[in-house]
Amino acid sequence: MSAQINDGDAIAKDIRGTIAAEVRDWEAAGHRLPGLAVILVGNDPASAVYVRGKRRDCDEVGFHSNVQHLSANVTQSDLEDGIRALNEDDSIDGILVQTPLPDHIDQNAVIDCIDPAKDVDGFHPYNIGRLALRRPAFRSCTPKGVMLLLEHIGVSFHGLDAIVIGASNHVGRPMGLELLLAGCTVTTAHKFTEDTAAKARGADLVVSAVGKPGLVGPDWIKPGAIVIDVGITRGDNKKLYGDVQFDAVKEVASRITPVPGGVGPMTRVALLQNTLQAARAHLQVSD
């Protein structure tokens, strides 16, 4: 058996087309364009690549984009003042602060500073709390992107045994909440978990979000399981690596996502969907 490779690029392209058509209709009706503000702090090369990709996505679907590139030496107070100004800017529906941030910046305070109604990254405690209470508002982009991909390929979630490997605030934890909300029985594995491999072997759906190249091998996967590789690491050769040993695992799994081209494009399109959702609320445009 060789797994079906799920192409996130193709799915995301279809969704962007739907968003672009809706934005054209809004503009024709006299509404302003949805607006996304992205704040980039410092000169991290990977972050700069991600921000350029987000700007291209905005251009493709017709969003207004506002990219602010701040010095790596920006103070906490100046960064937060900039966020507050965007909170009050009526042309901006969504605000994203690109991570990682310099060590002297308190990332939690930055997230808390964003208006929850413009938190299109889905990181604010208000939005994570809404998801935990089964009343989602803005859903964290990477977990939402995974769910969009799984829904697109017709996965039936009810009763699935799922494991999420990794428990970060931005991916692992909300990913577990998403799968729980969808009707899965969910295990979250983390650095204190004993024998993660054995737990993974019992799962119908494996989502790895650790950022450790090659962590998940074929002996971790139940034959026919679905494998979603969220981990992404850039090697010294500039090549991107996932958590999953792709070539070996695809011979065991029924479906698998590649790195790159799997979850990454879905994360970006989830950001566009969240921005569209925020614009609907601000512009009072119905679905």
The per-residue DSSP string of 85-148 comes to HHHT-TT-SEEEE-SPPPTTS-HHHHHHHS-GGG-TT--SHHHHHHHHTT--SSPPHHHHHHHH
Using one digit for the tens of pLDDT, what is the confidence trace for 228-272?
A: 999 999 888 888 999 999 999 999 999 999 999 999 999 999 999
Q: In the predicted model, is pLDDT for residue 171 greater than 90?
A: yes
Q: Return the pLDDT at 285.
A: 73
211 residue type, one letter: G
Query: Does residue 156 register a pLDDT over 90?
Result: yes
Question: Is the pTM of the predicted complex or chain greater than 0.85?
Answer: yes
Q: Where in 18-124 does DSSP place strands (E)?
A: 35-41, 64-70, 94-97
Identity of residue 2: S
Residue 286 has pLDDT above 80, yes or no: no
Taking residues 205-223, what's their average pLDDT? 97
Distance between CA atoms of 278 and 256, rounded to whole angstroms?
32
pLDDT band for position 1 (50/70/90)?
A: low
Residues 275 and 18 sit within 8 Å (Cβ to Cβ): no
- Tokens (6 digits) for 134: 């089964």
User: What is the per-residue pLDDT across 40-95, written as a single tens digit (0 to 9) for each?
Assistant: 999 988 888 889 999 999 999 999 999 999 999 999 999 999 999 999 999 999 99
Q: What percent of the chain has pLDDT over 70?
A: 99
Instruction: Say how far apart CA 107 and CA 73 lie, in whole Å.
Output: 15
Which of 54, 118, 199, 222 is the catalytic position?
A: 54
The packing angle between helices 263-283 and 141-152, to 10°, is 110
pLDDT > 80? residue 287: no
- How would you list the strands of the sheet with 35-41, edge to edge? 64-70, 35-41, 94-97
Average per-residue pLDDT for the chain: 96
What pLDDT score was predicted for residue 16? 97
Quick one: average pLDDT of 156-182? 97
Residue 198 confidence (pLDDT) above 70: yes
pLDDT tier, 212 (very low <50, low <70, confident <90, very high otherwise): very high
Nearest to 92 by CA among 285, 244, 284, 275: 275
Which entry of 98, 245, 273, 277 is annotated as an active-site residue?
98
pLDDT at position 283, please? 84
Structure tokens at 164: 């999420």
Which pLDDT does position 189 carry in this prediction? 98
Q: Torsions phi, psi of 241, nearest 5?
A: -125, 145
Retrieve residue 228's tokens: 């979603």
Tell me: the pLDDT tens digits for 16-42?
Answer: 999 999 999 999 999 999 999 999 999
Q: Give dist(CA 86, CA 119) in Å, integer.
A: 11
Structure tokens at 162: 């799922």
Q: Catalytic site residue 273?
A: no
Token pair of 111 as six digits: 């997230």
Query: Any catalytic annotation for residue 76?
Result: no
Q: Could you say which of 121, 204, 229, 243 is catalytic? A: 121
Q: Assess whether 222 carries a catalytic annotation.
A: no
pLDDT, tens digit, 9 for 90 and up, residues 142-155:
999 999 999 999 99
